Every structure is written in C-alpha cells, then in structure tokens.
Amino acid sequence: MFTSNPFAELSVFLPPLVMQVYIVLMIAAVAIGTLIDMLHKGSARFFMQQRKKSQAAATKQLSGMDNASLAVRTFLKEVATSGEFCNPKRRMSHLLMFYGFLLYLVTTIGMVFAYPAPETPAPPAWPVLWNIGALMVLAGGYWFFFFIRVDVAKEGHSPFRLVRADLFIVSLLASVTFALIWEIVQTAGNLRATQTAFGVYIFCTTVLFVGVPWSKFAHMFYKPAAAFQKRVEEANGSSNLPRPSDAQYIER
C-alpha cells in the first residue's frame, strides 16, 4: 500500500489531466489568495513604507553582500529552523508540519505529473516519502491542535472550540488525514468508497488552498519578510526597538 502511487490509480475513473489541472488551479489559488490578503491588510504597502523609513533613518549603508548575508541568516533561523519560536514544543510541532508538508507537496506534484498512470509506475521511494510527509504533518498538526494552541494550553478552552484563525490548521489536518484514508480505502478495491473518500479529500484540500485570504496560510510568506526587514533595520542602525539589555533594564 505505502509503496504504490495512489494518484496513478485515479485513472480508473478520472483522466490524469484532471488532477494535473487541479494542482495548477490550486497553485494559482494560493498566489491569488496571498495577493488578495496583502491588498486587504495593506501588507505590501506597510513593508514598502517601512523600507523607506528604514532607508531614511539608516546610519550605515548596507552593501549587496550585507543584504545577502542577512537573507541567508533569516532563512536559516526563521524558515529552516523556526528559531522565532521560544517554546521548544511549538517549534518542534511547526518543523514537523513544515517539512512534512513540503515533502508531501513535492511528492504529490511529482507523482501526479511524472507518473500519472499505472503504465508509468513511480519508484517506490516516491509514495513512501509521500506517506512519511503526511504522517509528519499529522504528528505535528494534531500535537499542536490538541495540546499547544494558546487558547487550549493557556486559556483552558476545549480543543474543539474553533475560530476563524483555526481554518488553516483544521483544513490542513483534514486534507492530509483524508488523503491517507483515501489511500487505505483504495486498497480495498471498492470503487464507490474510493470515489467518496477521494471526493472528501479533494474538498478539504480545496478549502485549504482557496481559503488563503481567510486563514493563516499567507503568514508563512509574511513572517520571513518581516524578520528580514527587522535584521536590515538592526544592521543599518534605523531600528527603534530596544536592545535586549535595554529591555531588561526597562522591565526591572
């Protein structure tokens, strides 16, 4: 089960082109949704204004090499290792979801486009990695959902109490959960059950990607940009934030 491409079996009732077009549409939905979110919240305008203020107040001119170094440091800390999270549990949960989803997404695209039918079988490593990525998402996601969320861990609310901010994590977990359910049901050979499970999987996946303007999906693009801008301001001397030692002094 875990070594066969589940998307290749769709050719029994769905042409491979349909799934390929669907993935392209979902990529477009993320891009358009992020743009809508930026326009609605004024994020792009804010970053442009902040950059102009930073350049005007800078006491040191940064070279291209300086900016490249800051970009690399931002990627290594805020993106690759989620260093902005002080809580080690939340950091581990986030990393499981981030790398799991990345692995799950890349292998999905690879199997759908490169190995779309049983006539072109995917190497066993592809579906194995797809399943590993999905399990990483579920491990990190359910850990966060039931035990780490602020309103659950700190405020004592029921984990089943949902608000709009939970749209991303709920739709992500639903999408990946039903992906594995669909894969398992598919092995039973019941076409109607397979179609039903696949339909639920596609519905949840569509909510995940089309719901970008109303969820926290776009935050994964904003946070590195904000972190990079903060590093630039600290490096060029335009930052008005207190240093850690100053903040400790004020707090005392």
Q: Is residue 249 part of a domain?
A: no
Confidence band for 1, pLDDT divided at 50, 70 and 90: low
| Cα dihedral across residues 154, 157, 159, 165: positive or negative | negative
Domain limits for position 159:
8-48+88-235
Inside any domain, residue 80: no
Per-residue pLDDT at 94 exceeds 90: yes
Q: Which segments of the chain are extended strands (E)?
A: none
pLDDT in tens, 2-45: 789 999 999 999 999 999 999 999 999 999 998 888 887 776 67
Q: How far apart are CA 147 and CA 66, in angstroms?
A: 40
Residue 139 lies inside a defined structural domain of this protein: yes
CA distance 24 to 26: 5
pLDDT tens-digit map of 194-250: 999 999 999 999 999 999 888 877 777 777 877 888 888 888 888 776 655 444 433
Helix axes 16-41, 88-114, angle to 10 degrees: 140
In this predicted structure, what is the pLDDT of residue 243? 55
Mean pLDDT computed over every residue of the chain: 87
Q: Read off the pLDDT of residues 178-191 as tens digits, 9 standing for 90 and up.
A: 999 999 999 998 99
What is the spatial distance between Cα 228 and Cα 83, in angstroms, rounded to a whole number? 13
Packed helices 88-114 and 167-186: angle between N→C axes, nearest 10 degrees: 50
Q: How many domains does the chain contain in total?
A: 1
